[in-house]
Amino acid sequence: MTNKIFTKEEWTKALQGLSDSYKVFVPVKDGDFHTFKPMNATKAPDFDFQNTRLSARSLVYPQAERMFEYSLDENDPEANIIKETPKDYSPQAIVGIRPCDAHGFKIVKPNFDNKEYRDPWWIQHFESTVLVGLGCNQPCSTCFCASVGGGPFNKDVLDVLIYDLGANFMVSGLTEKGEAFLSKAQGGKAADDAAVKQAEALATEAAKKVKADVPTDKLKDKVINDLFAAPFWQDVGFACLNCGTCTYLCPTCWCFDIQDEVLGKQGDRIRNWDSCMFPLFTLHGSGHNPRDQKFQRVRQRFMHKLKYYVDKYQGGVQCSGCGRCVRYCPVNIDIRQVAELMNNY
């Protein structure tokens, strides 16, 4: 395992150099918040942030992705033949992703890559991605990664982990993919024992700060129908606006819709993120909607994350504890409280 020390300026320079071999995405301050943007010379990366407003999921699983294209022109010898739209799978690196968001990819993987189904686009995007995580020295009060199998310096899923030591970064290669990435990084020097100790101390300190008390331990033993019929869903869902903030900001929501869009004689088949908060999500062709009430949609989101996923994949909850839905739900519906209600029901 390589441990290298870079000054912060050196690290930015190294990333610029790496842009020749990878599409390098870095956190950039964009108005009031940070967002992942391709590395460029004009806007420097800014690693002084709590977390990006949106998770990095769109870099592996775009919000709108052209799957296929076709021609409707009868004179075209290939008319009405659906062809896969060429996609860009050149290597990319997400630098500065928080460990919770990386953990999110692990949580969604069983959905896109399992014995029954293999989603070729998600898998290829994921495999072409190097996850260069940035440990959290100061977890937010709304973070609960440690309650759901993660942690502020959790190395799971990451290829590289960055420790912010103040003036310097210590950068550790964790996988072959990560080592290959680091081997191309110019500058820096081998980390000495003192730096490694400092990094370890930071991780220990951060682990103490993050909330680990969101209860999910009893969820797997609950009877699905008991939770489904629990009396609290109307109350939980009263304030809900049924907007897509929670699902679109979430690193572990994966639902999509497939649409055909035609312009003239050229058609595209696109898959778009969808949200279980929207009534249209479950509207049948017949006009019937099995989830036509707000509380049913709210219940679906929590049941999926905290019960159906738990039962189906036997690997914990479908939540990485990033706290975005807690911070940005416009009406303050708090998954930590709902987890408690369900766990203790």
Q: Binding-site residue total for another protein (CB under 8 A)? A: 43
- Give the nearer residue to another protein in terms of CB position, either 54 or 95: 54
Q: Is the dihedral of CA 321, 323, 329, 332 positive or negative?
A: positive
- State yes or no: residue 243 binds another protein (CB under 8 A): yes
- State yes or no: residue 252 binds another protein (CB under 8 A): no
Structure tokens, 134? 């940035």
Residue with tokens 């081998």: 190
Smallest separation (angstroms) from another protein to the CB of 1: 32
Question: Which 131-150 residues touch another protein, going by CB under 8 A?
Answer: 138, 140-142
- Give the nearer residue to another protein in terms of CB position, either 260 or 311: 260
What Cα–Cα distance (Å) separates residue 53 from each residue in 99, 316, 317? 15, 25, 22
Smallest separation (angstroms) from another protein to the CB of 240: 9
Which of these segments, 6-14, 119-127, 300-308, 331-339, binds another protein (CB under 8 A)?
331-339
* Residue 343, number of CB atoms within 10 A of its CB: 18
- State yes or no: residue 296 binds another protein (CB under 8 A): no
Smallest separation (angstroms) from another protein to the CB of 165: 19
| Residues 6 or more apart whose Cβ sits within 8 Å of residue 77 | none
Segment (H or E) for 342: helix 335-343
Which of these segments, 166-174, 221-229, 306-314, 323-331, binds another protein (CB under 8 A)?
323-331
Which x/- pattern, by CB under 8 A, does the window 34-73 give for another protein?
----------------x--xx--------xx---------
Smallest separation (angstroms) from another protein to the CB of 238: 5
Residue of the chain from 194, 280, 314, 344 that contacts another protein (CB under 8 A):
280
- State yes or no: residue 194 binds another protein (CB under 8 A): no
- State yes or no: residue 249 binds another protein (CB under 8 A): yes
Closest of 143, 135, 151 to residue 214, by C-alpha: 143
Question: Which 161-180 residues touch another protein, going by CB under 8 A?
Answer: none
Residue of the chain from 118, 238, 266, 345 that contacts another protein (CB under 8 A):
238
What SS3 state is found at 92? strand
Smallest separation (angstroms) from another protein to the CB of 336: 7
For residues 132 and 95, the answer to whether their CB atoms sit within 8 Å is: yes
Segment (H or E) for 93: strand 92-97
Which of these segments, 13-21, 181-189, 213-221, 275-283, binds another protein (CB under 8 A)?
275-283
What SS3 state is found at 133? strand
The DSSP line for 225-260 is HHHHT-TTHHHHHTT----SHHHHH-SS---EEEEE
- State yes or no: residue 89 binds another protein (CB under 8 A): no
Residue of the chain from 23, 283, 295, 313 that contacts another protein (CB under 8 A):
283
What SS3 state is found at 293? coil
The DSSP line for 24-49 is EEEEEEETTEEEEEE--SSS------
Structure tokens, 69? 């294209």
| Residues 6 or more apart whose Cβ sits within 8 Å of residue 164 | 47, 134, 135, 137, 202
Euclidean distance between the first and the last CA atom of the chain, given in angstroms as a whole number? 45
Smallest separation (angstroms) from another protein to the CB of 172: 27
Cα separation of 291 and 63, whole Å? Answer: 24
Smallest separation (angstroms) from another protein to the CB of 318: 19
Residue of the chain from 9, 73, 84, 261 that contacts another protein (CB under 8 A):
261
Smallest separation (angstroms) from another protein to the CB of 54: 8
Binding site for another protein (CB under 8 A): 30-33, 50, 53-54, 63-64, 138, 140-142, 238-239, 241-245, 248-249, 257, 259, 261, 270, 272, 275, 278-280, 283, 326-334, 336-337
